[in-house]
Amino acid sequence: MTGPDPTGPDDGFSWDRVAAELAAAEAADEQAEADDWDQAATALAASLGIPVREAPELPPAVPEPAAAPPRPRVELEDLPLRPLDEVSVEEASVGERAPDVPDDADPHALLGALEALLFVVDTPVDEGTLAATLRCPVGTLRRALAELGGSYDARDAGMVLRRVGEGWRLYTREAHAGVVERYLLEGQRSRLTQAALETLAVIAYRQPVTRARVSAIRGVGVDAVVRTLVSRGLVYECGTDPDSGGGLYATTPLFLERLGLTGLDELPELAPLLPEAQTVLDEHPGS
């Protein structure tokens, strides 16, 4: 005789209900066993005179924070990428900008300031110094240098912008070297003016002497004339006056060579060349 089908629906039997009843029975058994152990522990503590501590109340459960909304995914193709050498230190430091750099800085004003700065320097200047002086990021300075140098080459200007070592400087274009050389050589061969000859004579006889002293003797300023004599290689600055702090000037060996002398002791005496005292008084009666 065959028993009832355990999966048949006609008698209301269900394996899920059986599993649930078994789980509930096991949970009840575990709770009863735990209660029995608690009662045994309480009785033992009472027999030994140990006070029984009540279990502390647990704090209310803290609700879990809501999950943050997912961030939009950024594709690498959407990010503007630049070569590493075009990124300055200021730009790479967490979005910081160089001090005193306005957001609306005029690029034409920056080019003009850069050109003026390069025009007055006498030695190559590094990019860090230029950027600090112009108060702009190094990357911006590099783009300005490239634009300035490109504009010189585009119009074949008389100047070129060159990088020498770690610095930048303006130079004359090699194509115009002949004109520059001709000017310099003809300038060296041109005759000195009367003012330059008088100043050279005072320096030759009173050396070493300051420009202030020469000006006092001649009665006029001699700064420009002294610079001309220095550029011709006839005089040079040989020291500093301890009293006034002014530069002391003396003649060079080229001065003796041009005059055909072997030493300053061969300079002619001044006394025969000076006018008589009465002549000076007649020309300057108020002196």
| pLDDT mean across residues, the chain | 75
- Residue range 134-183, pLDDT digits in tens: 999 999 999 999 999 999 999 999 999 999 888 999 999 999 988 888 87
Does any domain span residue 223? yes
Q: Do 203 and 162 fall within a single domain? A: no
Query: Can you give the pLDDT at residue 144?
Result: 94
pLDDT at 244: 86
* Residue 205, in any domain of the structure: yes
Whether the pLDDT of residue 95 is over 60: the answer is no
50 within a domain of the structure (yes/no): no
Tell me the whole-structure pTM to 2 decimals: 0.37
More confident residue, 90 or 281: 281
Contacts of 121 (CB under 8 A, 6+ apart): 169
On whether both 203 and 161 belong to a single domain, the answer is no
- Residue 137 domain flag: yes
Answer whether residue 118 is part of any domain.
yes
At residue 285, does pLDDT exceed 90? Answer: no
Domain count within the chain? 2
Write out pLDDT tens, residues 243-268. Answer: 888 889 999 998 888 888 888 888 88
* CATH assignment at residue 242: 1.10.10.10
Regarding whether 262 and 208 lie in a shared domain, the answer is: yes
CA distance 31 to 23: 12
Q: Which domain does 277 fall in, by range? A: 197-283
Nearest to 160 by CA among 171, 150, 169, 168: 171
Q: Where are the extended beta strands (E) located within the chain?
A: 125-126, 159-164, 167-172, 209-210, 235-240, 247-251
For residue 125, the cross-strand partners are 168
Q: Are residue 208 and residue 147 in the same domain, yes or no?
A: no
Is residue 100 very low, low, confident or very high in pLDDT (cuts 50, 70, 90)?
Answer: very low
The residues that bridge with 250 in the sheet, in sequence order, are 236
